[in-house]
Amino acid sequence: MRTWSRKNSLSGVKIRSDMDAREAAVLRSLVGSVIGLLRDRAADVPTDELAAMTGLRTGHSTPPEDAALARLLSDFHRRDQSEDGSDTADLNGALRGLHEPDIIDEKLHAGSVILDTLPASGGKIVLTPEQADAWLMGLNDVRLALGTTLGIDADTPEVLDDEDPRAPHLDVYHWLTWMQDSLVQVLTP
């Protein structure tokens, strides 16, 4: 993949890059996996009588059990006690129930924009600034899910031993990081 570039055209600003077929296949697979996790979560919402009567969409009141999904749909407040001594679990559950459907919708939209604008066999990528913003969100979600799955944290070395089963995947994580950083640089005036 080449670094992202910004071009002014008669139809407005365009953000451009180029990706080969293997890179496109890897990115499409990763985005598809994240979309699958999010769709499964959205489809598994427990029924709520009040929501059924009012038409209000509600989400889960508990965090996801899957670590990668929990990273994508994190709590609104730390799961310890608040300053007044009350437990934040009820607050997190209420906020999750209200906002999780919209958060999932935004994440699904971002992933769909990537899949819609990324040629299946690689090639030129041309984005509007709005599509580029969606790419940033989608790339971030993929990085978070992959990083959580691999157990990447601040103590993870840049290069892992060849015997470490995470080594090839860490290269993909670094590639996603580079791609996201390159896109941020182009979008920052």
Spacing of C-alpha 121 from chain mean position: 22
Q: Which residue has the tokens 């041309």?
A: 126
Task: Report residue 1 as tokens.
Answer: 């993949």
Q: What is the pLDDT of residue 102?
A: 94
CA 168 – CA 184 distance, rounded (Å) = 25
Per-residue pLDDT of the chain (189 residues; tens, 9 = 90+): 889 999 998 889 999 999 999 999 999 999 999 999 999 999 998 777 767 777 778 888 888 999 999 999 998 876 655 565 556 667 777 888 888 999 999 999 999 999 999 999 999 999 999 999 999 999 999 999 999 998 888 777 777 777 877 778 889 999 999 999 999 999 987
CA 158 – CA 17 distance, rounded (Å) = 26
